[in-house]
Amino acid sequence: MEKESRDIILLTDFGESHYRGILHGVIREYNSYATVIDLTHNVTPFNIIEASYILYSSYKFFKKGSIFVCVVDPGVGSERKAIFGEYNGYFFVAPDNGLLSPFLREKTFMFFTNTSLLKRPVESSTFHGRDIFAPLGALISLGHDLHTLGKPLENPIIKPWWELPILDEHTYQGIILHIDRFGNAITNIPCDKIHRIKEIRLRGIVVTEKHSSFYNAEYNTPFMYCGSSGFIEIGLREKNLSSTYQISVLTPLLFIVE
């Protein structure tokens, strides 16, 4: 089979460890023509929902045909499956733990069964990123038909992090999906709801200010704004909201609508 030049995008919680370099090496062992790009390895350890948000908000900015290999896998060594599939011209590989939830809502994915295609045996119950996920992404990059790699997945795990539980007529419940490098808190509230929101409550603070950019905001006053990923974010002008108010990923919040 002729090798192809395909972009393989890595998303993990490996941080600055050597594990991410090993993924590069394994992929290039299969396909020396593949371009390997690090989306991020700084997902909060074990945080599947944060990884799902980062993937969902990022994938469309890569060229069609790109393959996303996602390894945030607190269930490594368990019976959870290695899954893969195509969505809107992009390919995704991940554990069946909810990380691919936004895509699994609309498409049937596969689970990997054809281990005879692996160049090396699965050597560890703790590093399937090396032994399974990176090789699977590389096999897809080589042009293997997906149906030759596995079988259709029934009843995948889906985490509905984009759904907002309604507590009453005027109160919804949400969560913080991600804290960016500047300490801004990305919520799971879509931007199209910002005009209806009267206030957001979290960690003992009440956020009522709305601004279109940081330049328009007042200093030392938390405010909400529409972020670049399409979700409402909460920030502090030229300060770190997260450290100032001890806000972290999965911090619960309430938003009050008019």
Give pLDDT < 70 ranges for the chain.
1-4
CATH of domain 166-257: 2.40.30.90
- Digit-coded pLDDT (tens) for 93-116: 999 999 999 999 889 999 999 999
Q: How far, in Å, CA of 231 to CA of 150, rounded?
A: 35
pLDDT value for 3:
53
pLDDT value for 163:
80
The alpha carbon of 97 is separated from its chain's Cα centroid by a whole number of angstroms, namely: 12
Cα three-residue angle 247-191-221, rounded to 5 degrees: 45
CATH architecture of the domain covering 7-152? 3-Layer(aba) Sandwich (3.40)
Domain 7-152 matches domain 166-257 at the CATH topology level:
no
> Any residues with CB less than 8 A from the CB of 63 and at least 6 apart, and which?
7
Burial 51-72 (b: 16+ CB within 10 A, else e): bbbbbbbebeeeeeebbbbbbb
The residue extents of the domains of the chain are 7-152, 166-257
Q: What Rg do the C-alpha atoms of the chain give, in angstroms?
A: 20
Q: How far, in Å, CA of 215 to CA of 237, rounded?
A: 8
Strand partners, 255: 172, 200
H/E run at residue 254: strand 252-257
Using an 8 Å Cβ cutoff, are 207 and 237 in contact? no
pLDDT value for 178:
94
- Digit-coded pLDDT (tens) for 198-245: 999 998 899 999 999 999 999 999 999 999 999 999 999 999 999 999
pLDDT value for 4:
60
The alpha carbon of 170 is separated from its chain's Cα centroid by a whole number of angstroms, namely: 30
